[in-house]
């Protein structure tokens, strides 16, 4: 039996979080010979370049047996520009401004706001739905992230610093939700453009601010780390966004810092505190609750016109122009007629309705 989209989305979201979580402790090793802005840029570029190499290899092999995903078109440019502006420029710049004005502990606590902001935007602005059990599950995971971020040390900072860090999280939350809107398109291409765009923007910024490039070893290390933690991770995350919507994806992705804490043990010789285990327990509880969540009722699909890879399930009963092979899955622009039916669902792009 194939896994349900809910389970597939969970596995993809948690894998994305694990790959991303690794980047924090490894970055600590690279940071002394670089700056946060430059490192962020190199990580994005590593992701973008790695995915470009994959794309080249794919083209050299010629058309494969796997059906092609819907490609990114001109109509997607405004959303993509928003993604790069929020995620690649506003987010990093605001974070840097905030970091200068806040102590490390205070900053790492505040940066956890990305998850809750992503969920709130998804629910209030983008029409997603998270029932009581889903919200409780997300609450457990977010609480775990907060506990994990709590370290001995001074909580110091001013209002401007707090606003800047909160603003950075808001920018990333917008980025996540806009990426969700694009998630029916080819994730490899989507992330390649996003990573190259964001990496280039931050590189120009770092260059304007006079940040010197690190030596070849650190540079290479950052690019390789970027391929895993910003390239592959964001691709997996894009699939999770497609299958689950941004609210549930954000909950799974918020487990990333725990993976970072685990990796810090062998890598940096750090020890897990009792608090870290509490955090892990809270997160595990949240993940279990989210996996058990069920949501189903009679709902109506409005008319919808779009293009994506699909099989001809209950949502996709449409005619095909003569000459188009009806082999599944395939991708073409299609029209969704109004439809009322009852089945379990999450807030993917076909299920945005009032509750
Ligand atoms: Zn519903
Ligand atoms: Zn509904
Ligand atoms: Zn469709
Ligand atoms: Zn079709
Ligand atoms: Zn559709
Ligand atoms: Zn439906």
Give the E-state strand segments of the chain in sequence order: 296-301, 304-310, 330-336, 339-344
Q: Distance from the CA of 293 to the center of ligand 5, in angstroms?
A: 23
**Tokens in use for 192?**
């390649």
Q: Distance from the CA of 333 to the center of ligand 3, in angstroms?
A: 8
Is 355:322 a contact under the CB 8 Å cutoff?
Answer: no
Closest CA to 253 of 20, 3, 34: 20
pLDDT, residue 52, reads 97
**Residue 350: CB partners within 8 Å, gap ≥ 6?**
301, 304, 315, 336
Give pLDDT tens digits for 96-118. Answer: 888 888 888 888 889 999 999 99
CA separation, residue 253 to residues 193, 249, 306, 336, 348 (Å) = 21, 6, 27, 31, 17
CA separation, residue 31 to residues 23, 219, 222 (Å) = 11, 11, 10
pLDDT, residue 92, reads 86
pLDDT beneath 70, residues of the chain: 1-2, 63-67
Q: Distance from the CA of 349 to the center of ligand 6, in angstroms?
A: 10
Kindly identify the ligand whose nearest atom is closest to the C-alpha of 317.
4
Q: Distance from the CA of 306 to the center of ligand 4, in angstroms?
A: 11
Kindly identify the ligand whose nearest atom is closest to the C-alpha of 183.
5
Kindly identify the ligand whose nearest atom is closest to the C-alpha of 354.
2
Kindly identify the ligand whose nearest atom is closest to the C-alpha of 321.
4
Give pLDDT tens digits for 150-185. Answer: 877 777 788 999 999 999 999 999 999 999 999 999
Please report the sign of the dihedral spanned by the C-alpha atoms of residue 203, residue 204, residue 206, residue 211.
positive
Q: How far apart are CA 249 and CA 240, in angstroms?
A: 6
Q: Distance from the CA of 127 to the center of ligand 2, in angstroms?
A: 11
Q: How far apart are CA 320 and CA 312, in angstroms?
A: 11
Strand partners, 339: 301
Q: Distance from the CA of 297 to the center of ligand 6, in angstroms?
A: 9
Q: Distance from the CA of 352 to the center of ligand 6, in angstroms?
A: 9
Q: Is the ipTM of this complex over 0.95?
A: no
pLDDT, residue 154, reads 74
Q: Distance from the CA of 62 to the center of ligand 4, in angstroms?
A: 23
pLDDT, residue 143, reads 96
Is 245:122 a contact under the CB 8 Å cutoff?
Answer: yes
Q: Distance from the CA of 246 to the center of ligand 3, in angstroms?
A: 18
């Amino acid at each position: 039996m194939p896994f349900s989209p809910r389970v597939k989305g969970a596995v993809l979201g948690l894998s994305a979080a694990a790959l991303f979580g690794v980047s924090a402790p490894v970055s600590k090793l690279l940071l002394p010979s670089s700056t946060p802005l430059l490192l962020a840029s190199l990580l994005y570029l590593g992701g973008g370049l790695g995915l470009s190499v994959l794309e080249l290899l794919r083209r050299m092999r010629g058309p494969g047996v796997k059906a092609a995903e819907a490609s990114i078109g001109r109509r997607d440019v405004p959303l993509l520009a928003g993604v790069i502006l929020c995620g690649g420029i506003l987010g990093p710049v605001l974070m840097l401004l905030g970091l200068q004005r806040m102590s490390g502990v205070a900053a790492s606590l505040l940066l956890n706001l990305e998850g809750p902001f992503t969920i709130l935007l998804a629910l209030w602005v983008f029409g997603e739905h998270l029932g009581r059990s889903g919200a409780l599950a997300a609450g457990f995971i977010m609480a775990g992230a907060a506990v994990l971020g709590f370290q001995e040390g001074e909580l110091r900072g001013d209002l401007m610093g707090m606003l800047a860090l909160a603003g950075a999280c808001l920018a990333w939350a917008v980025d996540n939700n806009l990426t969700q809107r694009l998630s029916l398109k080819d994730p490899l291409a989507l992330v390649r453009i996003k990573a190259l765009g964001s990496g280039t923007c931050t590189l120009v910024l770092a260059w304007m601010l006079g940040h010197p490039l690190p030596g070849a070893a650190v540079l290479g290390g950052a690019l390789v780390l970027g391929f895993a933690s910003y390239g592959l991770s964001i691709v997996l995350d894009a699939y999770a966004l497609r299958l689950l919507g941004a609210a549930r994806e954000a909950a799974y992705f918020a487990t990333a810092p725990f993976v970072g804490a685990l990796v810090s043990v062998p890598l940096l010789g750090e020890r897990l505190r009792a608090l870290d285990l509490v955090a892990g327990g809270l997160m595990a509880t949240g993940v279990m609750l989210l996996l058990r969540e069920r949501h189903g009722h009679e709902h109506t699909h409005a008319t919808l016109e779009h293009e994506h890879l699909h099989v001809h399930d209950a949502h996709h009963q449409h005619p095909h122009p003569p000459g188009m092979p009806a082999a599944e899955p395939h991708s073409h622009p299609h029209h969704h007629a109004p439809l009322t039916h009852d089945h379990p669902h999450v807030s993917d792009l076909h299920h945005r309705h009032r509750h």
